[in-house]
Chains A and B, each alone.
Chain A
Amino acid sequence: MAEEQANGFKSGSNLEKILRAGHFAVTAELGPPQSADGDEIRHKAHLLKGVADAVNITDNQTAIVRVSSIASGVIAIQEGLEPVVQMTCRDRNRLAMQSDLLGAYALGMRNLLCLTGDHQSFGNHPQAKNVHDLDSLQLVQMVKAMRDEGIFQCGDPIKGTVPRFFIGAAVNPFGDPFEFRPYRLAKKVAAGVDFVQTQLIYDIPRFREYMKRVVDMGLHEKVYILAGVGPLKSAGAARYMRDKVPGMIVQDVYVDRMEAAVANIPKEDKAGRRDAWQAEGIKICIEQIQEIREIEGVAGVHIMAIEWESAVRPIVEGAGLYPRPTVE
């Protein structure tokens, strides 16, 4: 089976077309609710419509039960968004994954992000059994083989419509061993990934060093690299990410700036402090995008405004990335 469709695209998704056309891509993130509230998904979709080329739908993010990424993706499509379905290896074995992939494609989804998944001990079901039948790299291989060879993981042919996803993965330039990280990306490229999104960047010098190694290895010519950014919500949130979140590095300058933003606002003025923090968080994020955009090999940004989807529009506008291009 041919690797590409007649029109030359692997999936034909908007995100693929934007990247292929050489535009600086913008993706955002939509976190589904911890209830069966479809209206909340619609509300978040409304906030993101038109400001991102595609929107990641998280899959039981931080191991907390939420509306499934595929079900949320259906609503996102109804609301005019293009979803990037996130799929972790934590909750499903290879049967469930392939079954969901067939379903997601049948429902109109065209982008997939293959993830390991946060450990369940972080979430609200720490006694759950984890699966990890495949790792994220093997998931990439499986999705690629379904698309390009028309086969299931077991080797059986898919009789009929083949799911054709634009295949993504995550990379963390801030995890250890640092020396291994560019090689890990190289392995994901060899497995067949089309695009990657990075962990939240709050240490641009380290990201720059990572990208230098990636470019030296020529990987940026084989995979689209979207840099992960996100607005800080408060000084406390910045400190928490710096001190408590595994796999993150937050430079002190960001914590200091968030603290300075409310230095002259009394503690009792909660609304005033919140507004000042949010304004500074958005400002920092815009500056980061402008700086990261200049780094060789970066093909776009992935904006993760967690439980703060309304911040994405001012960030995209402020960074000069609005309106989003249209491609055919």
Chain B
Amino acid sequence: MIVGEQKPLEEIMGLLGDARKVLVAGCGTCVTVCFAGGEKEVGILASALRMKSRLEGHPLEVDEATVQRQCEWEYLEALRDRVGEYDVVLSLACGIGVQAMNEYFPDSITLPGINTTSLSLPVEQGVWEERCQACGDCILGITFGICPVARCSKQLLNGPCGGSQRGVCEVNADIPCAWQLIWDRAVKLGRVEQLMQIQPPKNWSRSRDGGPRKIVREDLRLVKNE
């Protein structure tokens, strides 16, 4: 899922600037599941903003709204009658949701209240680990289902660097070495020889390096030949 975490309150106050009337807008999908920007987090942040602004002598008027998905136009329609009443909208959706709001309501300003961090797996309650970089050219089929693009700090494709020791990455001991994981799995499956093949330089043009990516599925489009 898309995972994010709330920005520090100080930073949010700075972003709000001299706005006096704020709508905190949550999203009911990924950021709800990762406890960063759902209805509950919207309520907590709105209360925090009210208290802090009051303590600082410039009380904010803060309202709350959460839509099912901020990244789809049809769900934003529910906010159409409200956004105009506020100086700014503070979105707790991922970066896609924030941009969708700005595109759909071009006369209003929507600010980000969370940092979108990663495509992660909730490995246990309260812990999310990055699993995918959306590189556009999946290699999980040759690395035994463990992604070195997302999970090796140096995105190595042909084995571990010299800094792998006791199963952890040189960057810090909280990061399992992706190549240790890949090797262990290859050994367990009896397919070590698969790792002896040299992987050629990756085609990064299918990643963000090729420019912003776009998928067009003509078979799904309602308006043809645009």
Residues A176 and B160 in contact in the complex (CB < 8 Å), given A119-B154, A130-B154, A183-B192: yes
What residue in chain B is nearest A246 (Cβ atoms)? B170
Q: Please give, as numbers and ranges, the residues of chain B lying within 8 Å of A246 by CB-CB distance.
A: 163-165, 170
Q: Is B171 in contact with A119, judged by CB distance below 8 angstroms?
A: yes
Of all chain A residues, the one with the shortest Cβ separation from B152 is A132
Which residues of A sit under 8 angstroms from B165, Cβ to Cβ? Answer: 174-176, 246-247
Q: Could you tell me how many residues of chain A have their Cβ less than 8 Å away from some Cβ of chain B?
A: 38
With A179-B187, A190-B198 as given contacts, are A138 and B160 in contact (CB-CB < 8 Å)? no
Using C-beta atoms within 8 Å of the partner chain, give the interface range for chain B: 20 to 34
Any chain A CB within 8 A of the CB of B157? yes
Whether a CB of chain B sits under 8 angstroms from the CB of A46 is no
What does the 1/0 interface line of A78-93 toward B look like (CB < 8 Å)? Answer: 0000000000011000
Contact A116 B201 (CB under 8 A): no
Asked if A121 lies at the interface with its beta carbon under 8 angstroms from chain B, I say: yes
A75 at the interface (CB under 8 A from B): no
B201 touching A153 by the CB < 8 A rule?
yes
In the complex the two chains form, what is the Cα distance from A132 to B177 in whole Å?
16
In the complex, whether A58 has a CB less than 8 A from a CB of chain B is no
Q: Decide if B221 is an interface residue (CB 8 Å cutoff).
A: no
Q: Are B156 and A135 in contact (CB under 8 A)?
A: yes
What's the minimum C-beta distance from A244 to chain B, rounded to whole angstroms? 11
Which residues from chain A sit less than 8 Å from chain B, CB to CB?
Answer: 89-90, 94, 116-119, 121-122, 130, 132-138, 141-142, 153, 170-172, 174-177, 179-180, 183-184, 186-187, 190-191, 199, 246-247
Can you name 17 extra interface pairs (CB under 8 A) apart from A179-B183, A191-B198?
A: A116-B156, A119-B154, A132-B154, A138-B198, A138-B199, A141-B200, A153-B201, A175-B160, A175-B163, A176-B166, A177-B164, A186-B196, A187-B198, A190-B198, A246-B165, A247-B163, A247-B170
Among all A-B residue pairs, the 9 with the closest Cβ atoms: A172-B162, A246-B170, A246-B163, A137-B158, A116-B161, A247-B162, A177-B183, A135-B156, A247-B163
